[in-house]
Structure 1
Amino acid sequence: MVKKNTIPDGWRSLTPVGQPIPGTRFIAFKVPLKGAINQRLTPTQKFTPKDLIAGMKALNVELGLIIDLTYTTRYYEVKDLPKSVQYKKLYTVGLEVPDNATILQFKKWVRKFLWENAGNDKLIGVHCTNGINRTGYLICRYLIDVEGWDPETAIQAFGEARGHRMDGLVYLADLRTQPMRR
């Protein structure tokens, strides 16, 4: 069992926030951590919800929606996010390809947000624990299935924008070989 205030494995060494994926409204990041967990980190390692929003301002972009793919609620509290940012929780198990219901829900939330925000440039922030494999899989699955992107183009664009490439073989194999899921 994972202790309540532990730092996720591999989290410290990862860039907190990537860049927006060109041609999309997606931006990927690692999970921000609440104060009790951040106390175990040096000032340069800390990454809180407040730091996330400051990072968006530094990139000169605005976050409109966060889709949280972690399979826990222990990392941060929604009340620590600005009221202007919508928050959706999609419990997604790590180390395995999400089921069709999870993929469909992700697509529904993205489509709804894009439709409701067609008149602005607000971004959709997506994170799992490290902001790489589950995050990359669902963003790429959306780009392939809905936007018609080639799998390799989606995978490469995600890796370049996030600053870390997907390395989960089950995710990569599924994106490259499985048919589109409408």
Structure 2
Amino acid sequence: MTLRTNVNVMPVAPLSLTGSRDSYSATLGHCLKASAGSKTLCGPGVSTMPNQQKRRKRKNGIPARWLDYCPIGQRIPGTRFIAFKVPLKPSLNCRVPKAHSFGLWDLLDSVESQNQELGLIIDLSFTTKYYMLTDVPQSCSYFKIFIQGHHIPSDAAILSFKRVVRRFLKENQDNDKLIGVHCTHGLNRTGYLVCRYLIDVDGLAPPAALELFNSCRGHCIERQNYVDDLQRAPKRSNVGMDGSKEEAIRGLAVQRPPPREEGQVSQTTTGKQE
């Protein structure tokens, strides 16, 4: 679908946060220690999968280490961003214990529990197997950017992310709807692109952007190449950011899927991260 008009976005005020690379390293160390010593980082109901289950791989299984991360973080102050791990379609959610299931309707409930409203989902995963547009509630728009895990996103992908965010902000100036961003775990690719936007567009210092994202997500960005790029590499160009040729698509789901029966769970399987 093609955008027919240029987007002129009212700029977002930069956040007045400061930080240093040393302070980020200390924060990262604290997160790693917390992760190693606790099964719960962002609230109740988030447990670590047994190592035996982690080693199993089966096509179309749940993502590797998916249960290790809390489903959703908090809204990032001064922005519309909120990060979360990939929600699973019902046929995958039934493979995990009911208390740990996390689908798109669960996502809406979690956002509403924070007295917020979700308006846009940006999907950065490198696959379409975890859910489809038919699973996305009609109240949300959806935009897909294929980002390969472990690799720094291309300049084209970064610009695409900036464009869809700017267009959403332009079209939603009269409300406070959130922009939800996820990859597989809602952490590394998600954290990189959210921080890249905060740095390049909002003018936030890299260490401050990293600390802000980590504290709101409840987990620290793990990929050192992402952290190094955010802290040391030049800002990416914003040229063309307001001339979006892409637009988000409205979700197609009009009602929740049927509730799972109590105790209903298939054998848990894990797949590779995508």
TM category, shorter = over 0.9
Give deviations 1:23-82, integer Å, cap 9, x for gaps: 110000000001111121001110011111111111110011100000000001222222
d(CA) in 1 for partners of 2:100, 2:90:
12
Give 1:3 shift: 4.2
d(CA) in 1 for partners of 2:65, 2:176:
32
1:26 aligns with 2:81: yes
1:107-122 alignment runs, 5 A limit: 107-122=162-177
Tell me the residue number matched to 1:166: 221
- SS in structure 2 at match of 1:64: strand
Question: Is contact 1:132-1:165 (8 Å) kept?
Answer: yes
Tell me the residue number matched to 1:137: 192
Aligned CA distance change for structure 1 residues 4 and 36 (closer, same or farther; 3 Å):
farther
d(CA) in 2 for partners of 1:30, 1:141:
19
Give 1:4 shift: 4.0
Give 1:5 shift: 2.6
Tell me the residue number matched to 2:109: 54
After the TM superposition, which of the residue ranges 148-157 and 76-85 deviates more from structure 2? 76-85
d(CA) in 1 for partners of 2:127, 2:199:
28
d(CA) in 1 for partners of 2:199, 2:211:
12
d(CA) in 1 for partners of 2:234, 2:139:
36
d(CA) in 2 for partners of 1:137, 1:3:
28
Give 1:84 shift: 2.0
Query: What RMSD over aligned residues (CA atoms) do the two structures have, in Å?
Result: 1.0
Tell me the residue number matched to 1:128: 183
Tell me the residue number matched to 1:91: 146
- SS in structure 2 at match of 1:12: helix
Provide the identity percentage: 52
- SS in structure 2 at match of 1:76: coil
- 26, 33, 41: which one pairs with 2:96? 41
Structure 1 length-normalised TM: 0.97
Tell me the residue number matched to 2:211: 156
Structure 2 length-normalised TM: 0.65
1:100 aligns with 2:179: no
For 2:211, give the aligned amino acid. Q
Give deviations 1:80-132, integer Å, cap 9, x for gaps: 22212110000000001000000000000001101111111000000000000
Question: Is contact 1:4-1:74 (8 Å) kept?
Answer: no
- SS in structure 2 at match of 1:121: coil
- SS in structure 2 at match of 1:106: helix
For 2:234, give the aligned amino acid. P
Tell me the residue number matched to 1:11: 66
- 60, 63, 70: which one pairs with 2:125? 70
For 1:64, give the aligned amino acid. G
Question: Is contact 1:5-1:36 (8 Å) kept?
Answer: no
Question: Is contact 1:25-1:122 (8 Å) kept?
Answer: yes
Structure 2 gap segments, 5+ residues each = 1-56, 238-274
The structure, 1 or 2, with the larger RCO (C-alpha pairs under 8 Å, 6+ apart) is: 2
